[in-house]
Structure 1
Amino acid sequence: MASLATNFCGFIFFFPIGLHRLLSSSSLYLHNPSHFRSKLWYLSDPNWKNLDLYLLLIALPIASFSEFFIFLSFSNHPTFRFSFFQQSFTLLAFWVLIILIIGLEYVNSLHVSDSFVYVFGGVVFLMEYDVMDKGVSGVADVVYGLLGGLTLVCASACFYLSVKPNAFFAEFFLCCGMVFKGTWFLQIGFSLYTDLFGLKGCKKISVLSLSPRIENVDVLCDLDEDSLRGIAMMELLFILHAIVVLILGLGFFGLVSWGGNLRGGDVKGPLLADLESTSMRLCDASEIEMG
């Protein structure tokens, strides 16, 4: 809850990860549904294709320290001082999650199970939910409350996958939840922090609004009717986002399914090849255990 740039960074973080997981998990599931098992990160060969994972390893601590410096700049405002400190700590927790994923994939001596990492991921999402609507009210409170609901969906999916990693529906909810969070972050940035795409009759949230005399920040609306109309508009936009994300998720699933039906011919991309080798390893391991 700082600026358009902050919300755009949230979009950059969640949207690509959600799409990547959705495409990869759908391909793996459709290749062999009975042997599907959710993966912490769907890695590709060669390693340079996993550049997004390594970029997060660098970007998250930078973002955390940036939030910490904002925390210092609002040291005279107890509400926002606590909020920015919690946001900085949450970003560090996501960074630790990335370190655990990389360590579990590349360091064989790391005695950590996939279930533990999923539980840790669910806890991190709960930490994010806890700081989601700190210091906001009115329209902003409703908007960030909807975002908090998406965060709870992601947390619940992580906890369920820690118990049943073969539950594709939980993986699907996690992927769509992350995609939805990304698009909603972007919508919040445009609607609350810009005048061009802002709500009719309301002014954007600016740094000048974060005064020590103001305990709860909200968009400044001329009339109560403008505030109520703004809440209704944001709820309508949320429903439209949900429809688009659902169509996108089912569309990706159908596209991967259609592409899988062509694998008898010459149509086979590198992603399908990577997932096929992963599925073959799972099948071999299953046959060894049954033997």
Structure 2
Amino acid sequence: MGLFLAHLVQGFALTFLGLWHIINTIKSYIVKGPSNFTVRFWYQLNTSQFKLKHLELVSILSFSILAILIQILDFPYFHYAFKLDNFEHATMFIHLALFAGFSLSTELTDSLELFSGFVGILASSVFSQELFLLHFHSTDHVGLEGHYHWLLQLIVFVSLASALAATIFPNSFNAAIVLSVSIIFQGCWFINMGFMLWIPAFVPEGCVMNLGRESGSEIHGAVTCGSKEADFRAKGLANLQFSWILSAIMIFAGVVCLKLAKKCTIVDRLEYERIQSKVMDSTVVNEGFKQAK
């Protein structure tokens, strides 16, 4: 149950984060237009309270630190034990904490524009290390569990590629939207894995959960299928789930595009242009004042 809960919590966190990003990305693109759109790796909360504006970064940083401690203390047993797979999971969260911590620092010091490229590099490093550690995982993910993890690697690879593209092409809406979709996909896939691999009632027909140890290598809830036919059927079901979940996310993204395009009227665009005009006027005045000096 502990592993199911870990997958569930991490899955919901990623799904919520991806939903937050996809809505804000589409809204920003519609309001600003293609020529003024800029990729953001995190979004402020629209509130008058300064402390809540950086809620996303604070939440990511707090969640990462908590996840690192849980891995080191071997949840749910809460005792220190050097388990290689736990430290691999903790290392993934270290890179996430680095991204959130540096991004928060750039905001508090008003240096985001100066280091926006490095923020993108840190975001890319999160997915690169996740992909690296998933691919060379010390835990022996075999059979159906290994297939689910292989499909997860495909999603993480897309996240990495889109994050790099968003860093190199900071005005690319396509890169930003693919990144948001891939984050939602990661979250949904974690949730799906939690149910299909760690809850006996959801294990495919002809397969059983193996909670024991084999050859001294711990196999956490690995699913073993009784025949080749059952194994093929279970993997085929996983492939269908992969396509169905992606289809649902793409439908959601399309609906959000149409809804926000209808909701964000010309008034929103005019307000954005008015703010931009004020910023430009202020910049011109400051430059003129400096020259006069």
TM-score by length of 1: 0.83
Give the Cα separation in 2 of the matches to 1:167 and 1:282. Answer: 23
Deviation at 1:285, TM superposition (A): 4.6
1:182 aligns with 2:177: no
Alpha-carbon distance in 2 for matches of 1:100, 1:287: 29
Instruction: Give the conservation status (yes or no) of the 8 Å contact 1:28–1:276.
Output: no
Per-residue CA distance 1:189-221 (angstroms, 9 max, x = gap): 00001012222122235xx33555237663122
Q: Is the 8 A contact 1:142 1:231 kept in 2?
A: yes
What SS does the corresponding residue of 1:219 show, helix, strand or coil? strand
Give the conservation status (yes or no) of the 8 Å contact 1:3–1:193.
yes
2:225 to 215, 221, 228: 221
Q: Give me the whole-angstrom Cα distance separating, in 2, the residues matched to 1:146 and 1:28.
A: 31
Secondary structure of 1:231's counterpart equals: helix
Equivalent in the alignment of 1:156: 161
**Higher mean Cα deviation, 108-117 or 194-203?**
108-117
1:229-267 CA-to-partner distances (Å, cap 9, x unmatched) read 110100011010110011011111111111113x55xxx
Q: Quick one: which of 239, 256, 260 aligns to 1:256?
A: 260
The root-mean-square deviation of aligned C-alpha atoms, in Å, is 3.0
1:288, distance to aligned residue in structure 2 (A): 5.7
Residue in structure 1 matched with residue 212 of structure 2 by the alignment:
209
Name the counterpart of 1:165.
170
Structure 1 residues 46-195: aligned runs within 5 Å: 46=48, 47=50, 48=52, 50-70=54-74, 75=82, 81-108=83-110, 113-133=115-135, 134=137, 135-195=140-200
Q: Pick closer, same or farther for the CA change 1:282–1:164 going to 2, 3 Å.
A: farther
Query: Which of 233, 236, 246 does residue 232 from structure 1 map onto?
Result: 236
Change (3 A) 1:183 1:282: farther
Structure 2: segments with no counterpart, 5+ residues: 288-293
Q: Is the 8 A contact 1:26 1:253 kept in 2?
A: yes
The one-letter code matched in structure 2 to 1:100 is: F
Hey, what's the Cα distance between the residues in 1 that align with 2:40 and 2:112? 17
Cα distance in 2, alignment partners of residues 252 and 100 from structure 1? 30
State which structure, 1 or 2, has the greater radius of gyration over its C-alpha atoms. 2
CA offsets 1:142-194 (integer angstroms, 9 cap, x no match) = 11111111111111111111111100000000000001111111000000010
Q: Which has the higher contact order (CA 8 A, sep 6+)?
A: 1
Q: Name the CA shift for 1:146/1:279 in 2 (closer, same or farther; >3 Å).
A: farther
> Are 2:39 and 1:35 equivalent residues in the alignment?
no
Separation in 2, partners of 1:117, 1:110? 8
* Residue 280 (structure 1) aligned with residue 260 (structure 2): no
CA 1:51/1:215 → structure 2, altered by over 3 Å: closer, same or farther? closer
* Alpha-carbon distance between aligned partners in 1 of 2:274 and 2:149, rounded to the nearest angstrom: 39
Gaps of 5+ in 1: 76-80, 265-271
Tell me the distance in 2 between the aligned counterparts of 1:26 and 1:198: 37
- Paired residues, what number? 273
Letter in 1 for 2:40: K
CA deviation profile, 1:22-47 (whole Å, cap 9, x unmatched): 11111111112210001231102234
Question: Are the counterparts in 2 of residues 115 and 161 from structure 1 also a CA contact under 8 Å?
Answer: no
Measured after TM superposition, the shift of residue 286 of structure 1 is: 10
User: Once structures 1 and 2 are overlaid, which stretch shifts more, 213-222 or 158-167?
Assistant: 213-222
Rounded Cα–Cα distance in structure 1 between residues aligned with 2:9 and 2:175: 25
Kept in 1, the 8 Å contact 2:74–2:86? The answer is yes
Question: Contact 2:60–2:96 (CA<8 Å) still a contact in 1?
Answer: no
Kept in 2, the 8 Å contact 1:202–1:219? The answer is yes
| Mapped contact 1:202–1:222 kept (Cα < 8 A) | yes
Q: TM-score scaled by structure 2?
A: 0.83
State how far apart, in whole Å, the 2-side matches of 1:40 and 1:276 are: 24
What percent identity do the matched residue pairs reach?
19
